[in-house]
């Protein structure tokens, strides 16, 4: 199973996200720019999973969700409520309490993958190049209860 993860669109093109639907079992959006891509909810109702970010002000979408995909428990959050700009302590505690294997978060605009105490933390970075860096996403592969994450540039989606 392939899950492509985006966050922090902030006004850039959504064409790369649309291309991901063809190559992924699921496309996850972690907030900030939700209004621009909300139509995917209707075009791909079985493939598009999303949460609200701190800049999605008028949207009532939840700010976090827990999924069980292929035997892997995945927490989705934008990260602003868990103060991810100051570290992952809040998220780690929540992951441990909820028996989470993988935490997907955004908000910092910094792509990163790290494992802490057996929990895999993945931030896809920013789906927008408007912040000076390359637009990035993350690809999560789930197979038989095992999982692997990588950061990808939009030209590899």
DSSP secondary structure code for residue 20 in this structure: H
**Other CB atoms closer than 10 Å to residue 91's CB: what's the count?**
23
Higher pLDDT, 132 or 89: 89
Supply the pLDDT for residue 13: 61
Sketch the domain layout of the chain as residue ranges: 2-156
The CATH code of domain 2-156 reads 3.60.21.10
Taking only the tens place, the pLDDT of each residue in 61-109 is 999 999 999 999 999 999 999 999 999 999 999 999 999 999 999 999 9
CA distance 31 to 36: 11
Classify each residue of 17-33 as buried b or exposed e, where b means 16 or more C-beta atoms within 10 Å of its C-beta: bbebbeebbbbbbbbbb
In this predicted structure, the answer to whether residue 130 has a pLDDT above a threshold of 60 is no
Q: Predicted confidence band at 128 (pLDDT cuts at 50, 70, 90)?
A: confident
Taking only the tens place, the pLDDT of each residue in 21-71 is 999 999 999 999 998 898 999 999 999 999 999 999 888 999 999 999 999
In this predicted structure, the answer to whether residue 18 has a pLDDT above a threshold of 90 is no
Supply the pLDDT for residue 129: 66
Write down the residue that tokens 């895999």 correspond to. 120
């Amino acid at each position: 199973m392939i899950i492509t993860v985006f966050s922090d669109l902030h006004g850039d093109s959504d064409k790369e996200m649309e291309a991901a639907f063809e190559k992924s079992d699921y496309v996850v959006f972690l907030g900030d720019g939700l209004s621009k891509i909300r139509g995917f909810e209707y075009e791909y109702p079985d493939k598009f999973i999303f949460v609200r970010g701190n800049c999605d002000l008028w949207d009532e979408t939840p700010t976090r969700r827990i999924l069980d995909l292929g035997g892997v428990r995945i927490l989705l959050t934008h990260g602003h409520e868990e103060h991810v700009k100051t570290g992952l302590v809040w998220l780690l505690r929540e992951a441990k309490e909820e028996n989470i294997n993988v935490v997907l978060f955004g908000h910092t605009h910094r792509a990163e993958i790290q494992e802490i105490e057996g929990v895999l933390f993945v931030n896809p970075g920013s789906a927008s190049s408007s912040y000076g860096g390359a637009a990035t996403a993350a690809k999560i592969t789930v197979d038989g209860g095992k999982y692997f994450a990588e950061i990808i540039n939009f030209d590899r989606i």
